[in-house]
């Protein structure tokens, strides 16, 4: 997939300019919205939502390209509390209903000056929220070798969970899940879907534990 990066970059650049022009014309119409009929205002609101969806898709494409670029950067250690804070802030900005419950203080690998890991974790939470219809809890479980982000609905299902191969291509999230997979797998991580019978019931993202050079608390990223 990465071989398509130059084409996707060009496509994103070419589409962003007309998307901005559309937004400008819509803003002019919105200034005089009181002169429009109810039906016209409804059509204008629909056009604005469509334009925002287009811009959001271009933003997601940009994040995917950045995640691909970050694969070439050396990894550094990030303390778990810092990653949790970063993930929580992005979730709040995107209005993703996520609560994070950490377990243990460890370091995890990341690419320097890159937020694609935290953004990818938020995308996983968003997928679970969409598929289960409610808020999401992420339990962050750690051991000596791995850290697993266990994304589950806040009201868990009673049925036992079965682990299946992660599906990148479910609808509704554009390329955000692809970006999440790129970010996590480039750091040596894995992804699994959890099912309760015929229902999706969560996602596990497992990453290796990273040790700082001194073997102590890892430094904050620059």
**Residue 158 in 3-state DSSP?**
coil
Max mean pLDDT range (30-34, 106-110, 217-221): 30-34
Q: Cα–Cα distance between 1 and 124 in angstroms, integer?
A: 20
The confidence score (pLDDT) of residue 215 equals 35
Arithmetic mean of pLDDT, 41-53: 91
The confidence score (pLDDT) of residue 17 equals 86
Arithmetic mean of pLDDT, 143-156: 88
CATH architecture of 75-208: 2-Layer Sandwich (3.30)
CB 151 within 8 A of CB 130: no
Arithmetic mean of pLDDT, 53-72: 80
The confidence score (pLDDT) of residue 114 equals 60
**Residue 168 in 3-state DSSP?**
coil
Mean pLDDT of the chain: 83
Q: Cα–Cα distance between 193 and 151 in angstroms, integer?
A: 10
The confidence score (pLDDT) of residue 187 equals 85
Mind listing the pLDDT tens digit for each residue in 184-202?
A: 988 889 999 999 988 899 9
The CA-CA-CA angle for residues 53, 126, 209, to 5°, reads 130
Is the pLDDT reported for residue 217 higher than 50? no
φ and ψ at 193, to 5 degrees? -90, 145
Query: Which residues, other chains included, contact 212 with Cβ-Cβ below 8 Å and sequence gap of 6+?
Result: 77, 107, 218, 219
Q: Regarding predicted confidence, which is higher, 84 or 156?
A: 84
CB 105 within 8 A of CB 39: no
Query: Which residues, other chains included, contact 135 with Cβ-Cβ below 8 Å and sequence gap of 6+?
Result: 97, 98, 99, 129, 153, 154
Q: Cα–Cα distance between 23 and 36 in angstroms, integer?
A: 18
- Orientation angle between helical segments 38-70 and 5-31, nearest 10 degrees: 150
Instruction: Give all strands (DSSP E) within 80-179, no chain letters.
Output: 98-103, 107-111, 136-142, 146-153, 162-165
Parse the chain into domains and list their residue ranges: 2-70, 75-208
Is the pLDDT reported for residue 142 higher than 90? no
Mind listing the pLDDT tens digit for each residue in 82-112?
A: 888 999 999 999 899 999 987 766 667 776 5
The confidence score (pLDDT) of residue 204 equals 96
Q: Regarding predicted confidence, which is higher, 210 or 186?
A: 186
Residues of the chain above pLDDT 90, percent = 33
Strands 136-142, 98-103: pairing is parallel
The H-or-E segment that residue 32 falls in is none
Out of 36-40, 63-67, 139-143, pick the least confident.
63-67
The confidence score (pLDDT) of residue 9 equals 77
Q: Cα–Cα distance between 105 and 22 in angstroms, integer?
A: 47
CB 63 within 8 A of CB 179: yes
């Amino acid at each position: 997939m990465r071989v398509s990066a130059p084409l996707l970059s060009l496509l994103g650049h070419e589409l962003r300019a007309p998307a901005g022009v559309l937004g400008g014309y819509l803003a002019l119409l919105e200034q005089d919205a009181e002169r429009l009929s109810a039906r016209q205002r409804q059509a204008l609101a629909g056009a604005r939502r469509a334009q925002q969806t287009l811009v959001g898709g271009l933003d997601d494409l940009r994040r995917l390209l950045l995640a691909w670029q970050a694969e070439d950067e050396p990894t550094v250690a990030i303390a778990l509390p810092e990653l949790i804070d970063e993930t929580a802030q992005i979730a709040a900005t995107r209005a993703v209903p996520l609560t994070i419950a950490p377990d243990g203080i460890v370091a995890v690998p990341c690419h320097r000056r890159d937020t694609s890991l935290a953004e990818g974790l938020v995308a996983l939470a968003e997928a679970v929220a969409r598929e289960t219809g409610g808020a999401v809890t992420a339990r962050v479980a750690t051991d000596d070798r791995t850290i697993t982000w266990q994304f589950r609905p806040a009201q868990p299902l009673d049925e036992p969970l079965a682990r299946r191969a992660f599906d990148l291509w479910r609808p509704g999230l554009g390329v955000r899940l692809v970006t999440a997979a790129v970010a996590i797998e480039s750091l040596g991580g894995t992804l699994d879907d959890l099912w309760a019978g015929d229902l999706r019931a969560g996602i596990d993202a497992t990453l290796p534990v990273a040790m700082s050079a001194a073997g102590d608390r890892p430094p904050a990223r620059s």
